[in-house]
Amino acid sequence: MTAARFRRLLTGAYLMLFFGYLFLPLGIMAAATFNSSRFPTVTPWMGFTLGWFQALWEDQRMWAALGTSLLVGAGVIALAVPLGLAAALLLDRLHSRAKTVLYALMVSPLLTPGVIVGISTLVFWREWFGVSGGLFLTVVAQSSFIAAYAMLLFSARLERFDPALEEAALDLGATHGQVFRRITLPYLMPAILSAALLAFLQSFENYNTTLFVRGLDTTLTVYIATKVRTGLTPAVNALSLVLIALTVLGAVVYEILRRREARRQAGSVTA
């Protein structure tokens, strides 16, 4: 019995260590925001300040970078979500080797390093269309793999779709357009929302791909990296803290929505 207790203690200690490892670095980064030292650190502690938030607020280049990120994010939602939706709709109706091949092609960008996605996009668009790096290429390059995430989300929801609904509507004389607008799209609406959210977050935090296709445009993530390497002040920590707070909020909302959805699914199965 003591062996079992010992093992339980060991497990508990390991878990504490693991979650401490996950959160302590973020805590230290957050704490450094409030240290009035000129350099982001917690040692030595020079006194409490909120001044770095003000410095951040007054940083014009930060606001410009944020604007760029929002623009790119909107572009990625507009491009990647419809592409992923179309891909999922097509896959859902295929039952052959074609499906396997298409599926492999569609998920391949997720297994490709981000720098390569960026490089191939950069080379291709310059050579074929004479387009160089900038907002447009950033949207295109990010969408090429974010569309795969969207496709996976849509496919998961379509798997539970009852095709008899569409069948019935068609039999009753609805046109294909009507069926899509009135039945398929409304059914997919929750997935469209989560795909848009996921697409935006993925775009917002992307660094590796963006780095190669951004041209002279600077997204917020690129801006943070530049600041860390040149001209680092705790204002970067203030920015990190704000972004983390927003991310945590977003993640919690997303999880709650997902679980509510899962419960509703489970409920409708038993009913």
Partner 1 sequence: MTEVLRRYGPVLTGVILLAVAVWLALLVLLPQLMMIGFSFRPSLPPSKIGGPEDVFTVRNYLTLWTNQIHLSIFLKTIWASALVTATTLAVCYPVAYYLAQVAPKRRLPLLILMLVVPFWINELLRTFSWYIILAFNGPLNAVLLGLGIIDEPQRFLGGDAGVIVGMVYVYILFMVFPLYNAIESLDRNQIEAARDLGAGWLRIHRRIVLPHAKPGIAVGCIMTFMLAAGSYAVPALLGGPNSRWFTEIIYNWFFEGGNWNQGAAYAFILLVLCIGFILGAMRLFRVGLADIAK
Span 83-112, contacts to partner 1 by CB under 8 A = 83, 86-87, 89-90, 93-95, 98, 100, 102-112
Q: Please tell me whether residue 75 binds partner 1 under the rule CB under 8 A.
A: no
Question: How far is the CA of 266 from the CAs of 119, 198, 244, in angstroms?
Answer: 44, 24, 32
CB closer to partner 1, 19 vs 63:
19
Q: Please tell me whether residue 66 binds partner 1 under the rule CB under 8 A.
A: no
Could you give the string, one character per residue 10-39, with x where binding to partner 1 holds by CB under 8 A and - elsewhere? Answer: -x--xx--xx-xxx-xx-xx--x------x
The only residue of 60, 97, 229, 269 in contact with partner 1, by rule CB under 8 A:
229
Distance CA(219)–CA(67), nearest Å, equals 8
Quick one: which segment of 56-64, 188-196, 219-227, 262-270 binds partner 1 (CB under 8 A)?
Answer: 219-227
The only residue of 46, 168, 252, 266 in contact with partner 1, by rule CB under 8 A:
252
Pair of tokens at residue 230: 């040149």
CB of 7 to partner 1, least distance (A): 8
CB closer to partner 1, 54 vs 247:
247
Sign of CA dihedral 112, 118, 121, 123: negative
Asked if residues 249 and 241 have their Cβ atoms less than 8 Å apart, the reply is no
CB closer to partner 1, 67 vs 113:
113
Distance CA(29)–CA(23), nearest Å, equals 10
Asked if residues 241 and 40 have their Cβ atoms less than 8 Å apart, the reply is no
Distance CA(226)–CA(244), nearest Å, equals 19
CB closer to partner 1, 71 vs 232:
232
CB of 261 to partner 1, least distance (A): 14
Quick one: which segment of 48-56, 113-121, 188-196, 263-271 binds partner 1 (CB under 8 A)?
Answer: 113-121
How many CA atoms within 13 Å lie on the side-chain side of 92? 20
CB closer to partner 1, 60 vs 96:
96
The values of phi and psi at residue 35, to 5°, are: -90, 130
Three-state DSSP class for 38?
coil
Radius of gyration from C-alpha coordinates of the chain: 24
Q: Which of residues 160-189 bind partner 1 (CB under 8 A)?
A: 163, 166, 175-177, 180
